[in-house]
Structure 1
Amino acid sequence: MRFILCILCLSASVVFAESKIYTLTLASSWGEQIPILGSAPYKVAKLAEEMSQGRLIIKVDLPQKHKAPLGIMDMVKEGLYDIGYTTPVYYKGKDYKLVFFMTVPFGMTTTEQYAWYYYGGGKTLSEKVYAPHGLISYPGGSVGISMGGWFKKEIVSLEDLKGLKIRISGQGGDVMARLGVNALSTSPGELYMAMETGLLDAVEWISPAFDMAMGFHKVAPYYYTGWSKPSGEGQYLVNQKKFHTLPQDLKRILESAIKITARELLDESNDANAKTWAKMQHEYPHIKINHFPKEVMNALKKAAHEVEEEQANKDALYKEILESQRSYIAKIRPWSMMGEVDYLSEIAK
């Protein structure tokens, strides 16, 4: 009888453990007004709750609530939030190596970067970077390649960049600064007003679906093709201590919810960009799609190389990641060119 009672007690404790509800808090860098990015963390929360049958609840706070869209990393590190939805380049001032886990100028495309992350050693390098911060980082979904930005005046030479005030994030800002540009890190919610009032002469944001929602096409007619962000990767930062309080199944559920949503975000972004670009061409024929002059592109490439070499000389782990990405590009780029690029070139003839 005592044995049976023990078995019943043990069974009851297992049921109780399995029915315990775990609640996590999440802070996002982007509000609901930002297409796709604004709704992404809610999708993670919904999936996690469904897959866990209500045992894992994620409460999402947007910038309107926490007031720190560019301070997500610190809030998660300090335990003010359990999860942060943001992008690595916002925090290059804290640790310059973080830029590699979003994108770097003239770097890998989205498909190349995901291949590097999961199969080329990128995930291991990411863990080496984030562990000292007490954080776990998960790819949060790429919006694909970003455009080069909206400019009020046409760029025809290097001289046109001198003194130009542009909002540009990540390593691209440091590259442009070497060409005499005043690169600023204006928060997303202030960008349109800054352009309209003349505080900014140009703004590099994302791509058609995201840019049109911000209204940049109303104040700047020149839309330049991209170079600084060939892959716009977001991320979910998870407080390491909090993560390890979760049961094993809920850890896997959280990771799966993030990975599923990340994949959907890329697909949704591509679809939205196609639809929005068609609409922009029809409704706003004044928009002029430009490529930066060859002189400017050559100068940008040279400056990007200089920035990378300087950082590599100061930080051994930065150098290790840089060499890893360069080595992987050398391996995968011939296939990228032979595959999609040659295919698109051939059918366009």
Structure 2
Amino acid sequence: MKKFMQLFAVAALISTTANAGWFGDDDKGADVTKDNTVYTLKLAETWPSNFPIFGDATKNFAKLANDMSGGRLVIKVDSKNKHKSALGIFDFVKSGQYDLGHSASYYWKGKDINTLFFTSMPFGMTTSEQHSWFEYGGGQELMDKVYSKHGMKSIIGGSTGNQMGGWFQKEINTVNDLQGLKMRIPGFAGEIMAEVGAKPTNIPAGELYTALDRGTIDALEWVGPSLDLRMGFHKVAPYYYTGWHEPSTELQFLINLEKYNSLPADLRSILITAMKLSAYEMYVQSEHESAKNWASMKKDFPNIKVKTFPKPVFDALRSANDKLLKELAAKNPLSKEIIESQANYLAKSRAWTAISDQSYLNSQSK
């Protein structure tokens, strides 16, 4: 895989000047005469030091950028342990304190409501559908429109794929069981849970187990088997629910636009290429680890009770989702544009997903 990634990176780099538009920038036809200056960029990530998968993505990115640039592009990564603000990445990059960031777009909904659409939306697109939307359905252009107002550019940063619905200390049988439930759940899904009576909150990764163990929260969603088992959530919350809220959780690389525009054109293209390649690597790593840990979970932790919300609960969540989307669209023209773009692309791509992947999987069920 590593050799393939490096070869693909070289091929992508060679084609950059002929097809710069693929990267979502405006470097087509730009002068790519390179100098020998070494450019050092600082990146702040939301994750703790050596955090698996998510942290691997930033390490892979830094190595790719350095290798592809012949050492002219050096990325220094600071984890949460150093900068001390897991959810401060937006402000770090916007202010120029850091040149780059790695986090998740929906964390910034309090700063700009339109940032929440670019991670994953409840009942929305799968990873392949969402990646197609970003690259060919106008998603990157809409993301540029949102982030350019803040002096930043956002690029896909790695998908976890479909996430599990979370760990619960009690079984959810009816919508009434969600009333007053204190749950760590970010993004638009948190708004939906509040609409049906729960009390959503957002807590950084390093504090999740303690919050659940001490009763600060009653439930949480994190990722899935790829990361959840090593966090130990199953020790304090035995009910593990299947997903609905994040069918394609895409992390992000943030770039300070002033810094980005100050780089030579070839390094700008290398930067974006390295981000997209490390994002792909993170997705396949997530899929591998989830499959491996799912098998381990069923064997080593048979007391974990895997559940799916009953249909009336799903119906209530979907109804709340539709209501809140309609309200958002009515309040904000750019929200309306993004919501309509995602809905239209989902309708088109899901018809193909249903006749291709879904039909195949249904034919294989025993």
| Same structural fold, with TM-score higher than 0.5 when normalized by the shorter chain | yes
Please name the residue that 2:284 is paired with: 267
Please name the residue that 1:299 is paired with: 316
Please name the residue that 1:241 is paired with: 258
Please name the residue that 1:28 is paired with: 45
TM-score by length of 2: 0.90
Q: Partners of 1:282 and 1:144 in 2: how far apart?
A: 23
Say whether residues 1:129 and 2:146 are aligned partners. yes
83, 93, 97: which one pairs with 1:80?
97
Deviation at 1:184, TM superposition (A): 0.8
Spell out structure 1 runs of 4+ moving beyond 6 A.
Answer: none
Partner SS, residue 113 of structure 1: helix
Deviation at 1:33, TM superposition (A): 5.0
165, 187, 190: which one pairs with 1:148?
165
Deviation at 1:243, TM superposition (A): 0.4
Residue identity matched to 1:98? T
Please name the residue that 2:235 is paired with: 218
Deviation at 1:342, TM superposition (A): 1.1
Please name the residue that 1:277 is paired with: 294
Q: Partners of 1:182 and 1:103 in 2: how far apart?
A: 20
Say whether residues 1:317 and 2:327 are aligned partners. no
Deviation at 1:142, TM superposition (A): 0.5
Say whether residues 1:158 and 2:151 are aligned partners. no
49, 62, 70: which one pairs with 2:66?
49
Please name the residue that 1:6 is paired with: none
Partner SS, residue 271 of structure 1: helix
Deviation at 1:61, TM superposition (A): 0.1
Q: Percent identity?
A: 49
Q: Partners of 1:67 and 1:339 in 2: how far apart?
A: 46
Deviation at 1:144, TM superposition (A): 0.3
Residue identity matched to 1:164? L
Deviation at 1:32, TM superposition (A): 3.2
63, 77, 87: which one pairs with 1:70?
87
Please name the residue that 1:8 is paired with: none
189, 192, 198: which one pairs with 1:172?
189
Please name the residue that 1:11 is paired with: none
Asked if the contact 2:119–2:251 (Cα under 8 Å) also holds between the matched residues in 1, the reply is: yes
TM-score by length of 1: 0.94
Residue identity matched to 2:184? R
Partner SS, residue 235 of structure 1: strand
Partner SS, residue 155 of structure 1: coil
324, 333, 337: which one pairs with 2:350?
333
Deviation at 1:71, TM superposition (A): 1.0
Q: Partners of 1:47 and 1:128 in 2: how far apart?
A: 27
The number of aligned residues is: 334
Asked if the contact 1:35–1:213 (Cα under 8 Å) also holds between the matched residues in 2, the reply is: no
Deviation at 1:47, TM superposition (A): 0.9
Asked if the contact 2:125–2:248 (Cα under 8 Å) also holds between the matched residues in 1, the reply is: yes
Q: Partners of 1:39 and 1:55 in 2: how far apart?
A: 21
Partner SS, residue 329 of structure 2: helix
Asked if the contact 2:185–2:201 (Cα under 8 Å) also holds between the matched residues in 1, the reply is: yes
Q: Partners of 2:60 and 2:35 in 1: how far apart?
A: 23
Partner SS, residue 133 of structure 1: coil
Q: Partners of 2:222 and 2:72 in 1: how far apart?
A: 37
Residue identity matched to 1:237? L
Partner SS, residue 138 of structure 1: strand
Asked if the contact 2:50–2:56 (Cα under 8 Å) also holds between the matched residues in 1, the reply is: no
Deviation at 1:46, TM superposition (A): 0.8
Say whether residues 1:108 and 2:125 are aligned partners. yes
Report matched runs for 1:188-207 at 5 Å: 188-207=205-224
Partner SS, residue 141 of structure 1: strand
37, 52, 59: which one pairs with 2:76?
59
Say whether residues 1:38 and 2:55 are aligned partners. yes
The runs of 5 or more residues in structure 2 that have no matched partner are 1-32
Partner SS, residue 54 of structure 2: coil
Please name the residue that 1:345 is paired with: 362
Partner SS, residue 253 of structure 2: strand
After superposition, give the CA deviation of every residue in 1:37-61 in whole Å (9 maximum; x if it has no partner): 0221111111111111111101000
After superposition, give the CA deviation of every residue in 1:184-220 in whole Å (9 maximum; x if it has no partner): 1112111000111111110111111111121111111
Say whether residues 1:288 and 2:284 are aligned partners. no
Q: Partners of 1:96 and 1:229 in 2: how far apart?
A: 17
Residue identity matched to 2:47? W
The runs of 5 or more residues in structure 1 that have no matched partner are 1-15
Asked if the contact 1:34–1:210 (Cα under 8 Å) also holds between the matched residues in 2, the reply is: no
Partner SS, residue 107 of structure 1: coil
